[in-house]
Amino acid sequence: MKTVATLLLSLTALVLTAQSKVYTLEECVLIALDKNISIKQSELEIESATIDKADAIGGFLPRVNAQSQHIWNNGLSQNITNGLIENLTTQFSSFGGNIGVTLFNGKQNINQLSRANLNLIARQYQLDDMKDDISLFVANAYLQVMFNRELEQVQRFQLEITKEDLERTKVRIEVGVLTQADIFDIEANLASQEQALVQARNNYRLSLISLAQLLLITDYENFEIAEEDFDIPFSEILLKNPKNIYEKALTSRNDIKLGIANIEVAKKDIDLAKGALMPSLTAFYNYNTRISYSDRSIQTGNLVESPIGIVQETGQSVVTQFSEREIVKPLPFATQFGQNDGHSYGVSLNIPIFNGSSVKNNIKRRELNLKRIENQFEQTKLDLENTVNQAYLNTQGAMKFYEAAEKTLKAREQAFQIAQNRFEAGVMNSFDFIQAKQRFQIAASDIVRAKFDYIFKLKILEFYFGLKL
């Protein structure tokens, strides 16, 4: 008869055939973190927070703008060639630019950058917290597959023992040690164990498919977990008390860090709202120029005499001189650009006096939001303390249950060995023998269940203490 150690070793000796890929627990966690849609959404929030930070940095930089326009005027105007009022179309272009820089705005640009940095940190904590939760979820699903696989091996092992018992019973019936009636109970037990093996195999496949779906893997037929032997560990964390674990969790848990960061963001929101009550001072510089595309009337430099009257006594003509003018094309673009430009600069002071109480109401709303976030944070700490206490008690209970299951398995195995010897000697009937065998089977299943239940609960407790999975 095999020992308990031999039995447990055989439970994990599953030979994988026709499998293109097996996955370790670490690989499954990494796949989940890479494919999970919620994580992708959280990563997008980090990118958005990074853009917000870039906006906040831009608040310290000057604002530079340029503008231009080209205008056609169509209507009555004087024709410079003949001096007549006519319907003419004229056109000109204008160009300009301005630079503005904020000298003071109630520290809103400083607070905006500080808020953006805090928000970026908060979104990173949010992502890390989500990764922690998903890692635990995947680990639980992975251990469930391992549990079902070992449970299948328990059923397979027990079935082989029953087949051996059936063959030995047939031999003893032939030699007259046992009667024909003894074989019926064993055959019935064999059929029952075959059904249990089918059910265990189905449970294993279903848990494997569930894990594959969690990892967004659709090729179920070629998906299998690796052969990993999780020994029963004893963690020193059980030597600590729940208060120590809780205090350590307050310094390591990402959801706690996220809560603290959210509070700081809410405080900066209040500072930003209060900044709107402060005056703002802005410096500016403007430049503009104008280009005309119309013909020009210019002086030629020649003087022209023109009579303007006659002296009555002498009959002499009275003349005057004026500069001769001619119509020419407009000045070159570059020449006009420099001749027609203008500059303006100065500072602008804006003092808020009354704005319908909108700023004050905004401050009150953000103060209420801060209180709301602080209350949520306190509730998070209370939930964490309760969870740690519950996890500690669950781990202790799971460890004691495993120790009891281990003792029970040893006792049931010894009882089964004695019953098998007595049955083979013909001093025990098949019914009592099968009862002893079934109790051994139950004990073997219980220790597998207790093993993985203890491992998972212990890892959760260690996780709250800040240890990696």
Query: Over the stretch 434-454, which tens digit does the pLDDT of each residue have?
Result: 888 888 888 888 888 888 889
Q: Is residue 22 part of a domain?
A: yes
SS3 (DSSP) at 375: helix
How far apart are alpha carbons 389 and 246 in whole angstroms? 8
Rg (CA), the chain: 45
pLDDT in tens, 58-76: 999 999 999 999 999 888 7
Q: Is residue 189 part of a domain?
A: yes
Q: 324, 306 in Cβ contact below 8 A?
A: no
pLDDT per residue as tens digits for the range 215-269: 988 888 888 998 876 667 667 788 889 999 999 999 999 999 999 999 999 999 9
383 Cβ contact partners less than 8 Å away, ≥ 6 residues apart: none
Alpha carbons 300 and 59: distance in angstroms, whole number: 56
- Neighbouring CB atoms inside 10 A of 9's CB total 12
Q: Establish if 305 belongs to a structural domain.
A: no
Look up the domain containing 237 and give its range.
4-295+330-464
Read off φ and ψ for residue 188, nearest 5 degrees.
Answer: -65, -40
- Judge whether 382 lies within some domain: yes
**Total domain count, the chain:** 1
Q: What is the reported pLDDT for 164?
A: 81
Tell me whether residue 397 is in a domain: yes
* Residue 321, in any domain of the structure: no
Q: Tell me which of 16-20, 26-30, 57-61, 99-103 is least confident.
A: 16-20
Contact 454/232 with Cβ under 8 angstroms?
yes
CATH number reported for the structural domain that contains residue 334 in this entry: 1.20.1600.10
Residue 419, pLDDT > 70, answer yes
Could you tell me the pTM of the whole model?
Answer: 0.77
Which residues, in sequence order, are CB contacts of 101 under 8 Å at separation 6+? 62, 63, 282, 283, 284
Could you tell me the two tokens for 71?
Answer: 């205008």
Phi-psi region of 24 (alpha: psi -120 to 50; beta: other; left: phi over 0): beta
Tokens of 318: 């009275």
* Sign of the CA dihedral running 390, 393, 398, 401: negative
Q: Is residue 309 part of a domain?
A: no
Q: Which SS3 state, helix, strand or coil, does residue 227 take?
A: coil
**CA distance between the termini of the chain:** 37
Instruction: Classify residue 255: in a domain, yes or no.
Output: yes
Question: Greater confidence, 115 or 449?
Answer: 115
Q: What is the pLDDT of residue 20?
A: 53
